[in-house]
């Protein structure tokens, strides 16, 4: 079994998420911990209080993070009689499936799956379980497997 890829089903479509290079995964982890994680989730997970005056993520940083994540994702499509994994974002800012640019449920679900698959090793199993539990009741995250 290849531990660098994982298949996920989102909105009845099959996707493949891949491991990011460690440098990119570390950068994303730092962004998640210092800029994305809202204080509500911090308190629910009993994490140490992070400084209240920490920087927030800019639109450019978020776009970069999303592009990195989506470039580590493929969508399975039938090509003739064979199922092929085709890039969701073959290069930064270029959609392999233009309709996904207007599908927030799929894009956010892919983002969550890619983040989980790539940065899970930076967090304890207990924290990840609590994070999944936090988002379990939110419809947007119900596709997590």
**Residue range 105-123: average pLDDT?**
86
Residue 76: pLDDT over 80? yes
Residue-range definition of the domain harbouring residue 47: 5-141
Residue 1: pLDDT over 70? no
Residue 103: pLDDT over 50? yes
Phi, psi at 58, each rounded to 5°: -80, 165
Task: Name the domain count of the chain.
Answer: 1
Kindly tell me the burial class for residue 126, based on how many C-beta atoms sit within 10 Å of its own C-beta (0-12, 13-18, 19 or more): exposed
The answer to whether the predicted template modeling score (pTM) of the entire model surpasses 0.85 is: no
């Amino acid at each position: 079994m290849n531990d660098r890829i994982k298949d996920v089903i989102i909105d009845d479509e099959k996707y493949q998420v891949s491991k990011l290079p460690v440098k990119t995964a570390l950068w994303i982890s730092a962004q998640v911990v210092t800029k994305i994680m809202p204080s509500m989730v911090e308190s629910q997970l009993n994490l140490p209080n992070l400084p209240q005056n920490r920087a927030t993520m800019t639109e450019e940083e978020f776009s970069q993070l999303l592009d990195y994540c989506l470039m580590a994702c493929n969508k399975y499509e039938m090509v003739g009689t064979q199922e092929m994994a085709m890039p969701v974002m073959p290069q930064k800012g270029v959609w392999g499936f233009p309709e996904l640019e207007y599908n927030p449920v799929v894009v956010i679900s892919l983002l969550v799956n890619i983040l989980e698959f790539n940065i899970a090793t930076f967090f304890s199993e207990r924290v990840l379980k609590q994070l999944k539990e936090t988002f379990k009741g939110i419809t947007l995250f119900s596709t997590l497997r």
